[in-house]
Structures are given as C-alpha cells and as structure tokens.
Structure 1
Amino acid sequence: MKSNFNQLAAQRRSIYALGKNVTATPEEIYQLVTTAVRNSPSAFNSQPVRAVVLFNQASNQVWEIVAEALAKVVTDPAAFEQTKQKIASFRAGIGTVLFLTDTASVHKLEEQFPAYADNFADWAEQAIGGSQQAVWTALAEQGIGASLQHYNPLIDDAIHQAFDLPADWQLRAEMPFGSIEGPAGDKEYLEEKQVFKLIK
C-alpha cells in the first residue's frame, strides 16, 4: 500500500548540519508551523501546545542562552568544547521553534474533569509530541532540516525573560531548523517482532 504520509515521515530526520540557504520567507515558515500545530490532535481538543517561532538574532539568542547555561554545569573543558560546537551547529540554521505547554489549560481541565485529572499532564505531553512530529515533517517536506533538542528546564527562566513569555507556558523542547548542509546519519531500527504484533 503506497502512502505519501509514510514517505514524508521517513524523510523527517535529525539534521545537525544546518545552514541558511532557505528560500522560504519567515512568514511562510511561521504559517507552516502554526498550521501544523493547529491541525495536531489533543485530548478533549484542549489545544495546550504553544509554539514560538524565532528567526535571526532572536534564534541566535536561544543558543547563546543554552551556551551560558551549560557553561555553568559542564566543568570539563574538553567536554564543553564539544558542547559549544554542537550549539554552533544549531545557531548555523535560520531559526528555532520553541515548543511549550500551556499549564493553565491543563490545570483547568484537571478541575473541570476530576475523574481524569491524573491524565491531563500526560495527554498534554502526547499533544506536544504530535505537534513536534507534524512541524518536523512539514519542514522536511519543504526540504528544511531540523532536530529536536531538550535543554529545558535548565534554560527556562532565561528563555521566559528574554522573550517575555507567559509564566504558564512551560518550555518542553527547542527545534533548530535551516537548510540541509549534510545528510542525516544512519537510522537503526529494532526488529519488527520486538515492536509490533499483528492479531487477525
């Protein structure tokens, strides 16, 4: 069975060699991201996902914040040099998407539906995962490379302050993106029988 979706999903890979050779405008990419997030599912249609799309100096500032935060916790000079090189590869792209959860909406649902209260935080994580997958695949369809990074909560306070984000928006991940300047590495898969089961 042919599936365009599965072809696109396979095209979505972690790209670490990013560049600025992208013809799409910031406005076009912003529209791509917002549409992908809006069309992603969430429990009770709660729509707890928030996304901030940063370009130019704003995007660079994310990675400056990351570098400053890691400089305080990575004490080995050799390890920190590798860390700086990795961060430089993210800064080399044209932008960054910040993915956040609106915790106020999660708490509101916990109050409205107490029988399900223990689940809403998990369901919000599922929603943000779906949005990340959708955005990443949409970027890949346009020939734009990306990867998903998780420097939160180490950078949370500085990110909120730098971009004046609502206190209820909890940072969950950072997605640097740009032109694909080098291929993704080989992807290894677990054996099918370890992962799947067909019952007829």
Structure 2
Amino acid sequence: MSSFVDALKARRSIYSLGNEVPLSEDELVSLVKEVVRESPTSFNSQTQRVVILFDDAHKKLWDFTEELLKPLTPEAAFPNTQAKLQSFAAGKGTILFFEDQDVVKHLQDQFELYADNFPIWSDQSSGLTQTNVWTALAQYEIGASLQHYNPVIDDKVAQEWNIPENWKLRAQLVFGSPQEEPGEKEYMADEDRFRVYK
C-alpha cells in the first residue's frame, strides 16, 4: 500500500487523551496552517477559518460545553456525557473549524448559476480540511477525535474568542497523546459500496 493509504489508516478516533505530544505548540500551529493552506476549496475560495486552542483555552472550551449541555441532557445520561467531555479536556488542545459565510455569499452573488451549491461546496471543503489536519496529526502519533457540539456552543465560542459573525462553526478536533489503542475498525462489504463499469 502507498504511504498515503497508510496515513489514512493511521487516522482513527481516539477519545482517551493526554496532554503530552511530540510537537511544540509552534510546530503544531505551523503544521495546521500548512495543511489548511493546501486543502482544496471550490473556486479556490479558501473559505476555511481555524482557531487553535491550547491548554487553558482548550480546557475552558470543554468546561463550558459541559455547562451548556447539562440542562439539555437527560439526568441519567449526563454522567456519560460528562466523562466524555472530561476526557477531551485532558488532551493538549482543540482545533475549531469554521467556514466564512461572507465568502460563500459573495460567490453565490457572483456565480448565480451555482448559487445553491456554494454552501454545499463550503461544507465539503471544511470536511476535507478537517480530515487532512486529522490525518497530519496522526502522522506524528497525535491522537484526535472530531466532535460536533455546534450549534449548542456557537454563541459562547464566538463571545469567548471574539469570532466574527460571518464565521460558521462546523467542527471541533480535540487532540493529544493517545491513552488507549482504538478498537478494530469495521468495514461494510465492498459489493454493497462500490460499482465498477468498463
């Protein structure tokens, strides 16, 4: 197999995290910037916006996520939710992925024929970027898992870190040192998933 496929195989959801990672914060920031720059976007629109939280800022995110979720979660289920959020807080950091809606709107106005597709393409670009960053971290044996607590946390995130109104939160990639091995990955049957014609 190619090293690219090996890299994809190394990217797994790791939920139990520590805060010891092999890269410095500056090296992590440089890596994320480079990967985001090289991730594709429709019309080279470069709609991705990223906020990287380390240490105290990272812990603050998961603390207020817990506070916001508590009244929305059935009481019997909350201990499991709380344990998961605390495992995230134990990590090194979180990468917040946003999409700039002003850019999307500008493209819709500029290219009316494709207007309905630009929000879709924006989300596709965001997903590509998230996976690319996640895979890059895995190459340094940094564990991560992709979370989606938006829109519950959107307003608080925007307030806490002065996020522009036109940035739409799409996902949170929490990362750190893996504290456990991921389970065996299951795959659906190829015949149910792929078709090839000649």
* TM-score interval (norm. to shorter): over 0.9
Q: Structure 1 CA distance, aligned partners of 2:64 and 2:122?
A: 26
Between the aligned partners of 2:175 and 2:81, the Cα distance in structure 1 is 18
The residue that corresponds to 1:22 in the other structure is 21
1:70 and 2:69 matched: yes
Deviation of the 1:43 alpha carbon:
0.4
- 1:193 equivalent in alignment to 2:191: yes
1:48–1:105 CA contact under 8 A, matched in 2: yes
The alpha-carbon deviation at position 75 of structure 1 amounts to 3.1
Question: What SS is found at the alignment partner of 2:163?
Answer: coil
Q: SS at 1:148's partner residue?
A: strand
- Offset of residue 188 of structure 1: 1.0
Looking at structure 2, the residues matched to 58 and 158 of structure 1 have their Cα atoms a distance apart, in angstroms, of 13
Residue 72 of structure 2 aligns to a residue whose secondary structure is coil
Aligned to 1:34: 33
Partner of 1:85: 83
Deviation per residue, 1:143-170 (Å, 9 max, x gap): 1000000000011000000011111100
Runs of 4+ in 1 over 4 A off after TM superposition: none
**Gaps spanning 5+ residues in structure 2: where?**
none
Alignment-mate amino acid for residue 54 of structure 1: L
Aligned sequence identity (%): 45
Matched, 1:113 2:111: yes
**Secondary structure of 1:107 counterpart:** helix
**Aligned residue pair count:** 198
Instruction: Decide whether the 8 Å contact of 2:22 with 2:140 is kept in 1.
Output: no
Structure 2 CA distance, aligned partners of 1:63 and 1:20?
14
Matched-pair contact (CA < 8 Å) for 1:101–1:171: yes
